Amino acid sequence: MAAAMSGAVDLAAVKARSEAAARAATAPPPSGGKFVIDVSEASFQSEVLDRSFQVPVLLDLWADWCEPCKQLSPLLEKLANEAGGRFVVAKIDVEANQQIAQMLQVQSIPTVFAVIGGQLVPGFQGALPEPQLREFIVALLDAAQQAGLSGPPTAADADTEAGADAPGGEADAAAGPLVPEDERFTAAEQALEAGNFDLATERYNAILLSEPANVDARLALLQVGLLKRLSALPPDARAKADAAPDDVELQLAAADAEVAENEVEAAFARLIALVKRVRGEARMPIRDRMVEYFELLGPDDPRVPPARRELANALF
């Protein structure tokens, strides 16, 4: 079940992000001038998620029959070429890639999203005029820079920083600036990959002890806790819970199983119904488990806000 977990917590899963970042580190950058790429369901992982750890990726969701798309796409291509690789446009035909459209909950086209470091960033719908589109790109690049991404330098940057005739300048420009790894996270991830949940917990806790506001360490710690519970989960966890609807521990275990299989709404419904049936202190572990799921999924997950409201109504 641990393998299914990366889908359940989507782009917020720290382990999934670290694996994607590792793949991106060895992936070749887009070939010269290829700053607009066609993406399919088969290539979404490598060309969008993994690539987003190198440069921000702009998702252009379109279809042949969409007239506004024919206005927007050439502008995006123009700006991508002007940026010289500081961001990549991933064109996704929603008719040919309906699973991606469903995953992103696309309601109309053209629709634009961005992905930075594995995280989905809200964009816009419709064909923006070029001035507004440029403003959006500036904000996108600012956000990418804050996230530690700067993309490969342009030729002008390479001339300025290394000199046009400097030995190895071209190779250095292609490589871009190196971002040093945090050895504390590396050590914790190594423990997690080895299946040593207690050691991983200890190492993430040590980070939080020195940096209480470190969001990545907090998310990673929650992930480790869930993965540890899943590793001990019996295959019939849900059947046992269904046979004992008021057993809090069995219901919590069944909810973990559902979250691991990306049946998040089912897990929320199970625990909210349980909150309504039990009283007093027995409600606290249920509430805490729901809050944990909310943190793992992130506030941008559309399943979280309604579940928060339902939980509040059930508790109060």
Q: What is the pLDDT of residues 138-185, one digit of tens each?
A: 888 888 877 776 555 443 343 433 343 333 333 333 333 334 567 888
With respect to residue 83, please indicate whether it lies within any of the assigned structural domains: yes
The residue annotated as part of the active site, out of 16, 58, 61, 69, is 69
| Pairing relationship of beta strands 119-125 and 111-116 according to DSSP bridges | antiparallel
Phi (first) and psi of residue 38, to 5 degrees: -85, 130
The residue annotated as part of the active site, out of 12, 55, 66, 141, is 66
- Taking the C-alpha atoms of residue 304 and residue 297, their distance in angstroms, rounded to an integer, is 7
- Asked about 69 being catalytic, the answer comes back as yes
Task: Inform me whether the pLDDT recorded for 18 exceeds 50.
Answer: no
pLDDT digits (tens, 9 = 90+) for 90-123: 999 999 999 888 888 888 999 999 988 888 888 8
Q: Which amino acid is at 66?
A: C
pLDDT digits (tens, 9 = 90+) for 243-284: 999 999 999 999 999 988 889 999 999 999 999 999 888 999
With respect to residue 200, please indicate whether it lies within any of the assigned structural domains: no
With respect to residue 297, please indicate whether it lies within any of the assigned structural domains: yes
With respect to residue 190, please indicate whether it lies within any of the assigned structural domains: no
Task: Provide the whole-model pTM.
Answer: 0.48
Q: State the total domains in the chain.
A: 2
- Give, for 37, the enclosing helix (H) or strand (E): strand 36-38
Q: Is the dihedral of CA 204, 218, 105, 286 positive or negative?
A: positive
pLDDT at 23: 55
- pLDDT band at residue 11, thresholds of 50, 70 and 90? very low
> Which of 124, 150, 176 represents a domain boundary (last residue)?
150
CATH assignment at residue 137: 3.40.30.10
2 and 195 Cβ atoms separated by less than 8 Å: no
Percent of the chain residues past pLDDT 70, beyond the cut: 79
With respect to residue 265, please indicate whether it lies within any of the assigned structural domains: yes
Q: Which residues pair with 147 in a beta bridge?
A: none
- Its domain, for residue 51, covers 31-150
Q: Which amino acid is at 26?
A: T
